[in-house]
Amino acid sequence: MGKGQSRQGSFLKRLLVITVGLALVVGLGAPYWLGQQVEKKYAEYLQQLQSLGYIQVENLTYERGWFDAQASYELVLEPEFSQAYEQLIATGTGVEFEEEPLRVFVSDSITHGPFMGALASLDGRIDGSGWLFEQLIQLEESEAVSRYTARVGFDQVVTGEWAPMAMTLTAGPMLSDIGLEMRYEIDYLGGEFRYDPAGGEYRSTSRLGQARLEEPSAVHTFEGATSNLVASFPQGVLREVTFTSDDGPMLTKSRDPAQAGDSRIDGQNIEVQLDFDEQGRFERFATRFAMQGFEAEEPELFLALQGIEADFTATRQGEASWYGQLGLNLDGMTMREQHSPGFEAQSVNFRLGLEPESESHLRVAQLVAASDLRIQGMNDPIAFHVESSYGQLSREAYDTLWQLVYEAIDVFSLDDPDAVLPVFERMEQAGEALMAGRSSLTFKPVTFSMGDAGLDLELEADLALQEMSSFDESSLLAPENRLDLSVEASAMLLHRVARETLRQQYNGMISGNELDAMAKEVVAGSLEPMLELGVVRREEGERYSLAVQLRDGQLLVNGEPGEWLLGQF
């Protein structure tokens, strides 16, 4: 038994030594092996970054040790993109720069796992140089533009945090030379970011505390903001970039009340989305802006709004052509201007869009509307709603026009500005071709009311514009032209409009009873001849109507032949 126990004890000792040895080998070797994997993934990350096509990676260094590594690289704008940006700045300011506009320096201190529960951890900093920092905007502090810490999980997902910092930006020499002096103090509260290389997605959140912008005419203070950025690039191709921002109250105090006024914004929201096609080409832009509780007061103007909402979308179709829509909604608006009547409106809406109508044509659509519009001095509120469209425009000519725009950008040169003139001449010809030929004009529906008195109008027309440019009876009565117009208005509305016109004309020098009597005379004097000629008809309920139709070269006014009406003009 003694010899057996001795042999067993010796075996256990050897097993323990081997186990400890293997643990030491694995423990010491794992960071080295993981360091190799981290270096490989680091290179893949930079390659994916450069594949986006807008930036280039330069001066990459990577010094790997057993347990840690030091890495650095620089990001610069892609040469063609950089040149286009420099030309844009030079065109707007007349200043040319020999050096590059932007160079971003990134350095990372990397610690290899696995003992920290992750593949690696990073401490990094970002610095910037180039004339964007030296000439346009300057940092007063000598610290890094940004600092961050991050962890790379065993699933290769990177999660990190942006470090809080205080920052002061001032206008550079180029802005100062043109009179744009400013000083921007920011309390950056930090944020978080996440990068998933497998899914091709980057997310970042940033938070601002109080900020202060000083300029010669005013001082602007900001209570804070939270912004989010998402970039999606599956298979290494950029497909979507989304930016959102929720901003707190903002206050503007004028330094010279005689020149400018004060303003206040309770809050605002911004959303911007950029979409790219499968080749990474820019194909869609969408943005939305909303403001709550706006108020501005100047020496001769006061403007207040409960809310503002604006949106804009643009989509590329084909190789070059862009279509889009612009919308603006104002709620609870009040405006008072010295020496002019003020007004209030419950809501004001405007929308303008350019969209394909068919494979061969496009159209322009518009909406203008307001409700409960009250003008100072008027007893009755006004409301109107107008929808119109202008269609049957040539898509082929529109596509050609966009191709020429791109060509003009390509051939433009500061050294030879006349090189673009031939392209401009072709653009003019393409514009004429776009507007030529037949077009349809529609106003439907159109309503206007003043108090409980209203008007309804509908208009649809299909006209040959080239012929209509030299307006005469034969061109209007061409067989292919078509027109439908119907108008119905109450006598009460006509009297109220005439009364308000006279009130403004006499500026309070006559009484209300006199205004009523004069308004009735004006309306009767205007309507009587048209009633006698049959141009206008009196309907039941004290309403007047007009109907005009043009079909197959025949003009009808209220159902009767109306060619004689053209001779009156």
Residue 116's pLDDT is 72
Lowest mean pLDDT across 18-32, 299-313, 378-392, 509-523:
18-32
pLDDT of residue 93: 59
| Strand duo 120-129 + 137-139: pairing | unpaired
Provide mean pLDDT across the span 446-459: 91
Task: With beta carbons less than 8 A apart as the criterion, state whether 401 and 430 touch.
Answer: yes
Distance CA 237, CA 217 (A): 45
- Give which of 349, 547, 557 is closest to 458, Cα–Cα: 547
Q: How confident is the model at residue 23 (pLDDT cuts 50, 70, 90)?
A: very low
Q: Which of 113-127, 280-294, 352-366 has the lowest average pLDDT?
A: 113-127
pLDDT over 60 (residue 26) = no
Contact status, residue 54 vs residue 85, Cβ threshold 8 Å: no
Under the banding of pLDDT at 50, 70 and 90, the label for residue 20 is: very low
How does residue 489 score in pLDDT terms, banded at 50, 70 and 90?
A: very high
Share of the chain above pLDDT 70, in %: 87
DSSP one-letter string for 47-104: HHHHTTSSEEEEEEEEEE-SSEEEEEEEEEE-HHHHHHHHHHHHHHHS---SS-S-EE
State the average pLDDT over residues 217-242.
91
Instruction: Identify the band that residue 417 occupies on the pLDDT scale cut at 50, 70 and 90.
Output: confident
Q: Are 346 and 381 in contact (CB under 8 A)?
A: no
- Which CA distances in Å does 427 have to 355, 407, 420? 20, 10, 11
The predicted pLDDT at position 96 comes to 67
pLDDT of 40 above 80: yes
Residues forming a β-bridge with 455: 448, 489
Instruction: Kindly state the average pLDDT of the residues 33-58.
Output: 80
Per-residue pLDDT at 365 exceeds 90: yes
Q: What is the pLDDT of residue 4?
A: 56
Average per-residue pLDDT in the chain? 85
Residue type, 488: E
Tokens of 150: 């991050």
Whether residue 283 has pLDDT greater than 90: yes
pLDDT of residue 471: 54
- Considering only residues 556 and 115, tell me which one the structure prediction assigns the higher pLDDT: 556
- Residue 24: pLDDT above 60? no
The mean pLDDT of 316-342, rounded to a whole number, is 91
Which DSSP helix (H) or strand (E) runs through 38?
helix 2-50
Give whichever of 96-110, 347-361, 440-454 has the largest mean pLDDT.
347-361
Q: In the prediction, which pLDDT does 535 show?
A: 87
Say what the pLDDT of residue 331 is: 96
Could you give the count of Cα atoms lying within 13 Å of 194 in the half-sphere of its Cβ?
11
Most confident of 17-26, 75-84, 317-326: 317-326
Q: How far apart are CA 119 and CA 112, in angstroms?
A: 6
Q: Which amino acid is at 194?
A: R
The predicted model gives 304-318 an average pLDDT of 95
pLDDT at residue 569, rounded to an integer: 53
For residue 316, name the pLDDT band (cuts at 50, 70, 90).
very high
Worst-scoring range by mean pLDDT, 248-257, 295-304, 504-513, 537-546? 504-513
Give percent of the chain with pLDDT exceeding 90.
Answer: 42
At residue 565, the 3 state secondary structure works out as helix
Query: CB pairs under 8 A, 24+ apart, for 25-34?
Result: 28/66, 30/113, 30/114, 31/66, 31/67, 31/112, 31/113, 31/114, 31/115, 32/66, 32/112, 34/112, 34/113, 34/114, 34/119, 34/120
Q: Facing residues of 285 across strands?
A: 274, 314
- Determine how many CB atoms are found less than 10 A away from the CB of residue 328: 15
Write down the pLDDT at residue 3: 56
State the Cα–Cα distance between residues 122 and 156, nearest whole angstrom: 13
Give the C-alpha separation, 284 to 354, whole Å. Answer: 14
* pLDDT one-digit tens code per residue, 145-177: 789 999 988 888 999 999 998 888 888 887 777
What is the residue extent of each domain of the chain? 300-436, 449-459+468-567
The single-letter DSSP state of residue 378 is -
**Mean pLDDT lowest among 32-41, 308-317, 361-370, 511-520:** 32-41
Q: 55 has which bridge partners?
A: 77
| pLDDT at residue 103, rounded to an integer | 86
What is the predicted pLDDT for the residue at 210? 93
Backbone angles phi, psi at 102, to 5 degrees: -150, 135
**In contact, 297 and 261? CB cutoff 8 Å:** yes
Q: What is the pTM of this model?
A: 0.81
Q: pLDDT by residue (tens digit) across 515-549? A: 889 989 998 898 888 888 888 899 888 899 999 99
- Residue 377, pLDDT > 60, answer yes
